[in-house]
Amino acid sequence: MQSEQVNQPMNVSTNVSTNVSTNLMLNNDYVCPCGGGQSCIVDRRTLNDWVHEDDLFLKNKLPLRKHCFQQFTNKQLKVLNNFTANDSLC
C-alpha cells in the first residue's frame, strides 16, 4: 500500500500580492464567466451595444440574464424560439 504524498505548498513568495489586491479594488465591473468578448452580453451592455436577447426579453417583460452562462428560463427560451421560428411575434 502506498502512503499518500503530502502536498507541500510550492515556494510562495510573500512580496507578490500587493499589486493584486489593488487590482481587485478597482475591479467594480462585473466580469462575465465566459471571459468576455464581442458576443458577450455583459461586455455588450457595458459598451452600450445592442443585445439581441435583452431586446426580446424586455419586450416580453422577462428578466435579463446576468451573464452568458446563466441558464435560460423556460419563458425566455419560448421567446427566443418564437423569434427564430416566426418573426412576426406580437
Site residues (CB under 5 A) for Zn ion? Answer: 32, 34, 40, 42, 68
In angstroms and rounded to an integer, the radius of gyration of the C-alpha atoms of the chain is 22
Among residues 34 and 64, whose Cβ is nearest to Zn ion?
A: 34
User: To the nearest 10°, the Cα dihedral for 24, 25, 28, 29?
Assistant: -30
* Closest distance to Zn ion from the beta carbon of 64 (Å): 13
Among residues 34 and 80, whose Cβ is nearest to Zn ion?
A: 34
* Closest distance to Zn ion from the beta carbon of 26 (Å): 20
HSE-up (13 A, CA, CB side) for residue 43: 10
* Closest distance to Zn ion from the beta carbon of 41 (Å): 6
